[in-house]
């Protein structure tokens, strides 16, 4: 990011290539609508580009990127008047955007897992996705989401319990 | 990460959901936006442009001054208003180019002398101009004659050449123009002895 800030366009391309998939999936599985996810995803990168001048090496780029993403999603939820996802809404059209493909795990298990993920409360799902997609530690997730480590740990624990249950392992 | 919170089966299941990637068009739009980042010269160039504009506007707002050369050559001419009978000279007559500086200096000096004399003459005889004023009925023709008289006055002729030109006008029957020009001549050279026109 510092190289990009100095004017090396190639540095951004390398960053983008490394983070685009995880960030895209994080957004897509957070909002559950592909068109909206693409819009938010682009806005997050635009904020990264616009904020490059303010980037300081205080944390990993990943943490900075997902902090921006968290704020953008929080804005989105606030505008929609949502703090926590409605469990009933998990079966709505939204989660078709990441319909699982048939794999060795078994189609039904994956469908249940996808439905359980979509049904998670927003903060739990966000914590789980930051953990799985961004590979962030509890402390990093806590910093990015403005929560305490204990609260983050609790959210992740609840999320994992529900997902395990969906896989028939609860 | 506290790995006590990790569940390998859930992680594997999650991975199996698929590895969606953003559409290529979205990638290209974002990368294009990143490449379009402002150059480091944009801000300095903007400041320079604003400064140039400000200086330009300021210079335009300053009062217009006559060219220094013209002032040096004919300060009195530049500051003395011409009489009403003589239309104002075009700007090019007032600001002579440097190439004819010597001749211009002579003409300007003569003009200045003549005008200062004329002004004193007008002050002494305030009615003389009134009597020379054209009647309303002949205003059009008089205006034309006045123009010619003014032209002769500005033609930088010597007094003798000017009088010869007046005599020529008389010969051509252009009496009114000759009279106007003569009146102008007398204003310009009040002390010059003008021979009586042939009757």
Residues 102 through 121 of chain A touching chain B, CB cutoff 8 Å: 103-105, 109-110, 113-114, 117
CA separation for the pair B130, A29 (Å, rounded)? 100
The pLDDT value recorded for residue B90 is 46
Q: Identify the band that residue A158 occupies on the pLDDT scale cut at 50, 70 and 90.
A: very high
- Which residue in B10, B21, B31 is closest to A164 by CB distance? B10
Q: CA separation (Å) from A52 to A14, A60, B26, B170?
A: 15, 14, 20, 90
How much is the pLDDT for A96?
A: 41
What's the token pair of residue A165?
């249950």
What is the Cα–Cα distance from B161 to A12, expressed in whole angstroms? 87
Residue in B with minimal Cα distance to A156: B5
In this prediction, residue A117 carries a pLDDT of 92
Taking alpha carbons only, the member of A145, A119, A121 closest to residue A131 is A145
Q: Is B1 on the interface with A (CB under 8 A)?
A: yes
**CA–CA separation, B82 and B30 (whole Å):** 73
Give percent of chain A above pLDDT 90: 42
Average the pLDDT over B63-84 and give the result. Answer: 49
Q: Which of A49, A113, A138 is closest, CB to CB, to B14?
A: A113
CA-based nearest residue to A4, from A57, A42, A41, A68: A57
Q: What is the mean pLDDT of residues B3-26?
A: 83
- pLDDT-derived band of residue B196, with 50, 70 and 90 as boundaries? confident
The length of chain B is: 199
* Separation in Å, CA of A146 to nearest CA in chain B: 17
pLDDT of residue B51: 82
pLDDT at A89: 37
Which residues, numbered 30 to 59 in chain B, qualify as contacts with chain A under a Cβ-Cβ cut-off of 8 Å? 30-31, 33-35, 37, 40
At B189, is the pLDDT very low, low, confident or very high (cuts 50, 70, 90)? confident
Q: Which residue has the higher pLDDT, B93 or A43?
A: A43
Mean of the per-residue pLDDT values of chain A: 81
pLDDT per residue as tens digits for the range A84-94: 443 333 333 34
Q: Terminus-to-terminus CA distance in chain B, angstroms?
A: 127
Mean pLDDT confidence for B185-198? 80
pLDDT digits (tens, 9 = 90+) for A118-143: 989 989 999 999 999 999 999 999 99
Q: Report whether A163 contacts B10 (CB < 8 A).
A: yes
Taking residues B115-142, what's their average pLDDT? 49
Beta-carbon separation of B14 and A163 below 8 A: yes
Residue B70 confidence (pLDDT):
46
Judged against a pLDDT cut of 60, whether residue A11 lies above it is answered with yes
Q: How many CB pairs under 8 A join A and B?
A: 100
Q: Is the pLDDT of residue B156 over 50?
A: yes
In angstroms, the CA A9 to CA A53 distance is 14
Mean pLDDT of the region A54-68: 82
pLDDT value of residue A157? 93
- Lowest mean pLDDT of A2-16, A74-88, A125-139, B87-101, name the range: B87-101
Share of chain B above pLDDT 70, in %: 44
Question: Tell me, what's the pLDDT at B81?
Answer: 47
Q: Are A152 and B1 in contact (CB under 8 A)?
A: no
Residue B8 C-alpha, separation from nearest chain A C-alpha, in angstroms: 10
pLDDT at B91 over 50: no
CA distance B97 to B73: 11
Q: Is A156 on the interface with B (CB under 8 A)?
A: yes
Average pLDDT over residues B43-50: 70
Per CB-CB distance under 8 Å, the chain B contacts of A163 are 7, 10, 13-14
Contact A45, A69 (CB under 8 A): no
The structure tokens 């000096």 sit at B109
* Band of residue A168 on the pLDDT scale cut at 50, 70, 90: confident
pLDDT beyond 60 at B105: no
Give me the pLDDT at residue A109, please: 80
A24 with B21: Cβ contact below 8 A = yes
The DSSP symbol for B99 reads: G
Q: What is the interface pTM, i.e. ipTM, of the complex?
A: 0.76
**Which carries the bigger pLDDT value, residue B19 or residue B150?**
B19
Give the DSSP letter string of chain A: -HHHHTT-HHHHHHHHHHHHHHHHHHHHHHH--HHHHHHHHHHHHHHHHHTGGG--TTS-HHHHHHHHHHHHHHHHHHHTT-SS--GGGGGSGGGGGGPPPP-TT-HHHHHHHHHHHHHS-HHHHHHHHHHHTS---HHHHHHHHT--HHHHHHHHHHHHHHHHHHTT--
CB of A69 within 8 Å of any CB in chain B? no
Is the confidence at residue B131, as pLDDT, over 70? no
Could you tell me what percent of chain A has a pLDDT over 70? 78
What residues have CB less than 8 Å from A129, skipping those under 6 apart?
Answer: A25, A26, A29, A30
Could B16 and A28 be called an inter-chain contact, meaning their C-beta atoms sit closer than 8 Å?
A: no
Residues of B in contact with A136 (CB under 8 A): 1
Among A103, A113, A160, whose Cβ lies nearest the Cβ of B5? A160
User: Which residues does chain B have within 8 Å of residue A135's beta carbon, measured at their own beta carbons?
Assistant: 1
Which pLDDT belongs to residue A45? Answer: 93
């Amino acid at each position: 990011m510092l190289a990009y800030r100095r004017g090396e366009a190639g540095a951004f391309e390398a960053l983008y290539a490394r983070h685009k998939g995880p960030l895209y999936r994080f957004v897509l599985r957070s909002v559950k609508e592909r068109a909206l996810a693409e819009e938010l995803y682009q806005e997050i990168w635009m904020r990264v580009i616009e904020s490059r001048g303010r980037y300081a090496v205080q944390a990993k780029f990943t943490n900075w990127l997902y902090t921006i993403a968290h704020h953008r999603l929080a804005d989105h939820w606030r505008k929609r008047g949502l703090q926590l996802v409605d469990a009933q809404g998990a079966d709505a059209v939204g989660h078709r955007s990441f319909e699982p493909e048939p794999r060795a795990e078994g189609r039904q298990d994956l469908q249940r897992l996808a439905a359980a993920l979509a049904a998670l409360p927003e903060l739990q799902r966000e914590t789980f996705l930051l953990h799985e997609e961004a590979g962030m530690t509890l402390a990093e997730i806590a910093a990015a989401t403005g929560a305490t480590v204990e609260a983050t740990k609790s959210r992740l624990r609840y999320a994992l319990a529900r997902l395990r249950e969906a896989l028939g392992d609860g | 990460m506290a790995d006590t919170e990790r569940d390998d089966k859930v992680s594997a299941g999650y991975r199996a959901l698929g590895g969606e990637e953003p559409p290529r068009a979205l990638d290209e739009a974002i990368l294009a936006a990143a490449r379009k980042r402002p150059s480091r010269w944009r801000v300095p160039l903007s400041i320079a442009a604003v400064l140039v504009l400000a200086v330009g506007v300021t210079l335009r707002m300053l009062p217009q001054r006559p060219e220094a050369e013209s002032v040096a050559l004919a300060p009195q001419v530049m500051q003395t208003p011409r009489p009403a009978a003589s239309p104002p000279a075009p700007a090019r007559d007032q600001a002579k180019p440097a190439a004819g500086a010597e001749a211009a200096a002579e003409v300007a000096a003569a003009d200045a002398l003549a005008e200062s004399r004329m002004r004193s003459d007008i002050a002494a005889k305030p009615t003389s101009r009134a009597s020379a004023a054209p009647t309303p009925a002949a205003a059009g023709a008089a205006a034309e004659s006045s123009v010619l008289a003014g032209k002769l006055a500005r033609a930088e002729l010597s007094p003798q050449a000017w009088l010869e030109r007046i005599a020529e006008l008389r010969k051509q029957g252009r009496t009114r123009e000759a009279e106007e020009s003569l009146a102008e001549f007398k204003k310009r050279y009040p002390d010059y002895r003008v021979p009586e026109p042939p009757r």
